[in-house]
């Protein structure tokens, strides 16, 4: 017999006689006596399960925790990969287009991953000619996508234009005109658009959204905790804090009925402010708006430009601390989602949806053909890599040229083809790590997926025990 290498055997602190087996390829999970979990774990290297009765063997086989031979599991992985691929149109499977309007920004955040790029590029904003080139490329790609979707009857979704920077919503006539043009293009073609902004001048753009009569699907704004923490970390060019103007923008946007995703950047410096920011959100009554959501996100440095910023940690210390806070104050879980903590989110979805998890093959849009356009006329596939020569996949202005080899390299960095992660048992949750980290540094950036899953199951165990399939 072969015991799946994707089985994770999780001891439950509060229930010493029980364990959970979580298969992190196909997503099946089940509660078993700890003695059975220990037996399977110990038997995994030899595959000798001769002490188990036939009925138990066939149950474990049915759930995909064991196979006759390893090849059966490999075949299942291949089948799922090819099924997933068949559902995607080829021209741009992600159906996403990101526009970096400018590398310029009105803030100087202490951990900014673009600080080097700002020094080496000018403050240009994407020009009208460039914008026209971008729109032509998007329309060509989307016509090809639509054709294929129709022919093969593939699942469809609305293309998304995401607007980012630097800071895309600067208080300049040039930025306002560019945003207005993009909104009209999105409206004309029935595409969604979203904006990632620091929020300082966001409320000055409300008249533009209103006069276009076409609201963004989502506006992502970031704060770093309460005013006290935030103003020390997200600082204006002249040294002033940015908290008050961001909050004012959020109030106005919610009043207009537009969607705000409030990202709260957390690292070891500001974890202690999570409770206070929750109090603040409740006092502002933002959670009363259907169009409001907030999430905790670990500060990351995929570009490795913040080597001296000591608060970033790759281990599970951050999630451990957050879990402790959730256990102490359960309402925090209803205020903040945790989508960027992949291991935790994986278990949460199983618990909430009451169904097995789906393997994640593609970590992000960067490996699915997303196109990122910058003001230098260059093309990328990852927003965070933009501005770096090693991440560039081509140009779009003055001419559209793609470096096929680089493009292929990015697309191969999925959980199946990624040579760095082929042997890893966590690859269907971590999904091969951040591709930009691999391209830029020829190394993986392994996440603490295993510990997050263990912590999450221990957190949810009292809620779900007995109800698992
Ligand atoms: S490649 Fe890395 S940094 Fe870029 S979008 Fe994907 S996960 Fe994010
Ligand atoms: S980045 Fe690390 S943890 Fe993630 S799949 Fe690759 S080897 Fe595994």
Q: Give the per-residue pLDDT at 160.
A: 98
Provide, rounded to the nearest whole percent, the portion of the chain with pLDDT above 90. Answer: 77
The whole-number average pLDDT for the span 94-105 is 95
Using the mean position of ligand 1's atoms as its centre, give its distance from the Cα of residue 385 in Å: 8
* Residue whose CB lies within 8 A of the most ligand 2 atoms, among 6, 426, 443, 445, for a mutation test: 426
Would you give the DSSP letter of residue 299?
A: -
Q: Give the per-residue pLDDT at 120.
A: 65
Atom of ligand 1 nearest to the CA of 434: 2
Provide, rounded to the nearest whole percent, the portion of the chain with pLDDT above 70. Answer: 93
* Residue whose CB lies within 8 A of the most ligand 1 atoms, among 298, 301, 382, for a mutation test: 382
Say which CATH topology domain 89-410 has: TIM Barrel (3.20.20)
Does ligand 1 come within 6 angstroms of the Cβ of 364? Answer: yes
Q: Give the per-residue pLDDT at 123.
A: 72
Does ligand 1 come within 6 angstroms of the Cβ of 428? Answer: no
Q: Are the CB atoms for 102 and 165 separated by under 8 Å?
A: yes
Does ligand 2 come within 6 angstroms of the Cβ of 429? Answer: no
Check whether 325 has a pLDDT greater than 90.
yes
- 215 or 105: whose pLDDT is higher? 215
Q: Are the CB atoms for 2 and 57 separated by under 8 Å?
A: no
- Nearest ligand, CA of residue 360? 2
Rounded CA separation 239/373 (Å): 30
Q: Give the per-residue pLDDT at 309.
A: 47
Q: Give the per-residue pLDDT at 113.
A: 65
What string of DSSP letters covers 358-390?
PP----SGGGTT-EEE-TTSEEES-TTTTT-GG
Residue showing tokens 């196909």: 26
Q: Give the per-residue pLDDT at 116.
A: 67
Rounded CA separation 341/237 (Å): 31
The whole-number average pLDDT for the span 389-408 is 96
The whole-number average pLDDT for the span 332-355 is 92
Band of residue 114 on the pLDDT scale cut at 50, 70, 90: low
Band of residue 273 on the pLDDT scale cut at 50, 70, 90: confident
The whole-number average pLDDT for the span 66-71 is 97
Does ligand 2 come within 6 angstroms of the Cβ of 435? Answer: no
* Residue whose CB lies within 8 A of the most ligand 1 atoms, among 100, 117, 297, 302, for a mutation test: 302
Phi and psi torsions of 361, nearest 5°: -90, -40
Using the mean position of ligand 1's atoms as its centre, give its distance from the Cα of residue 384 in Å: 6
Q: Are the CB atoms for 294 and 260 separated by under 8 Å?
A: no
Check whether 305 has a pLDDT greater than 60.
no
Strand (E) or helix (H) holding 21: strand 18-23
List the residue whose alpha carbon is closest to atom 4 of ligand 1.
382
- 227 or 48: whose pLDDT is higher? 48
What string of DSSP letters covers 169-186?
S-SSHHHHHHHHHHHHHH
Using the mean position of ligand 1's atoms as its centre, give its distance from the Cα of residue 325 in Å: 28
Check whether 308 has a pLDDT greater than 80.
no
Band of residue 469 on the pLDDT scale cut at 50, 70, 90: very low
Atom of ligand 2 nearest to the CA of 447: 3
Q: Give the per-residue pLDDT at 313.
A: 56
Rounded CA separation 371/97 (Å): 5
- Tell me which residue of 140, 216, 207, 146 sits closest to 171, measured CA to CA: 207
> Three-state DSSP class for 265?
strand
Does ligand 2 come within 6 angstroms of the Cβ of 453? Answer: no
Kindly give, in sequence order, each residue whose CB lies less than 8 Å from that of residue 261, ignoring residues fewer than 6 positions away.
218, 219, 220, 221, 293, 294, 295
Band of residue 316 on the pLDDT scale cut at 50, 70, 90: confident
Band of residue 457 on the pLDDT scale cut at 50, 70, 90: very high
| Pairing of β 260-266 and β 394-395 | unpaired
List the residue whose alpha carbon is closest to atom 2 of ligand 2.
446
Parts of the chain belonging to CATH 3.20.20.70: 89-410
Rounded CA separation 181/78 (Å): 44
Helix axes 342-353, 317-328, angle to 10 degrees: 40
Does ligand 2 come within 6 angstroms of the Cβ of 208? Answer: no
Task: Compute CA distances 162 → 165, 173, 241, 321, whole Å.
Answer: 10, 20, 26, 33
Residue showing tokens 């230098």: 376
- 181 or 230: whose pLDDT is higher? 181
Check whether 124 has a pLDDT greater than 50.
yes
* Residue whose CB lies within 8 A of the most ligand 2 atoms, among 424, 431, 445, for a mutation test: 424
The whole-number average pLDDT for the span 226-244 is 79
List the residue whose alpha carbon is closest to atom 5 of ligand 1.
382
pLDDT in tens, 20-37: 999 999 999 999 999 999
Q: Give the per-residue pLDDT at 204.
A: 96
| Pairing of β 218-223 and β 192-197 | parallel
Q: Give the per-residue pLDDT at 433.
A: 86
Task: Compute CA distances 404 → 204, 363, 369, 401, whole Å.
Answer: 41, 21, 12, 9
The whole-number average pLDDT for the span 232-247 is 80
87-110: b (≥16 Cβ within 10 Å) or e: ebbebbbbbbbbbbbbbbbbbebe
């Amino acid at each position: 017999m072969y015991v799946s290498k994707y089985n994770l055997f999780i001891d439950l602190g509060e229930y010493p006689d029980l364990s959970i087996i979580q298969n992190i390829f196909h997503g099946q999970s089940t509660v078993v006596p700890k003695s059975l979990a220990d037996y399977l774990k110990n038997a995994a290297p030899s595959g000798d399960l001769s002490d188990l009765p036939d009925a138990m063997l066939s149950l474990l086989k049915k759930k995909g925790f064991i196979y006759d031979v390893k090849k059966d599991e490999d075949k299942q992985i291949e089948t799922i990969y090819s099924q997933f691929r068949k559902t995607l149109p080829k021209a741009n499977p992600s159906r996403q287009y990101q526009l970096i309007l400018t590398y310029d920004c009105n803030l100087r955040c202490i951990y900014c991953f673009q600080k080097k790029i700002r020094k080496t590029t000018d403050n240009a904003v994407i020009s009208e000619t460039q914008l026209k080139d971008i729109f032509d490329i998007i329309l060509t790609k989307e016509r090809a996508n639509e054709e294929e979707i129709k022919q093969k009857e593939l699942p469809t979704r609305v293309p998304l234009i995401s607007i980012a920077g630097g800071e895309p919503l600067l208080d300049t006539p040039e930025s306002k005109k560019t945003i207005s043009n993009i909104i009209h293009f999105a409206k004309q073609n029935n595409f969604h658009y979203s904006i990632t902004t620091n929020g300082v001048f966001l409320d000055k753009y409300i008249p533009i959204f209103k006069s276009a009569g076409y609201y963004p699907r989502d506006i992502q704004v970031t704060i770093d905790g309460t005013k006290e923490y935030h103003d020390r970390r997200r600082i204006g060019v002249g040294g002033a804090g940015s908290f008050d103007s961001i909050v004012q923008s959020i109030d106005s946007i919610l009043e207009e009925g537009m969607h705000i995703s409030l990202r709260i950047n957390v690292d070891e410096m500001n974890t202690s402010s999570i409770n206070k920011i929750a109090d603040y959100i409740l006092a502002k009554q933002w959670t009363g708006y259907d169009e409001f959501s907030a999430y905790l996100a670990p500060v990351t440095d995929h570009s490795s430009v913040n080597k001296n910023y000591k608060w970033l940690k790759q281990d599970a210390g951050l999630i451990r601390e957050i879990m402790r806070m959730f256990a102490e104050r359960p309402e925090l879980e209803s205020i903040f989602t945790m989508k960027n903590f992949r291991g935790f989110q994986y278990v949460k979805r199983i618990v909430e949806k009451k169904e097995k998890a789906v393997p994640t093959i593609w970590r992000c849009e960067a490996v699915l053909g997303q196109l990122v356009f910058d003001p230098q006329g260059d093309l990328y596939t990852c927003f965070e890599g933009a501005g770096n020569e090693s991440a560039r996949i081509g140009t779009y202005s003055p001419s559209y040229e793609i470096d096929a080899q680089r493009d292929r390299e990015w697309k191969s960095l999925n959980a199946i083809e990624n040579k760095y992660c082929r042997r890893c048992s966590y690859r269907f949750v971590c999904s091969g790590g951040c591709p930009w980290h691999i391209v830029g540094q020829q190394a993986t950036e392994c996440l603490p997926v295993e510990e997050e899953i263990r912590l999450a199951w221990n957190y949810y165990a009292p809620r779900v025990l007995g109800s698992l399939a």
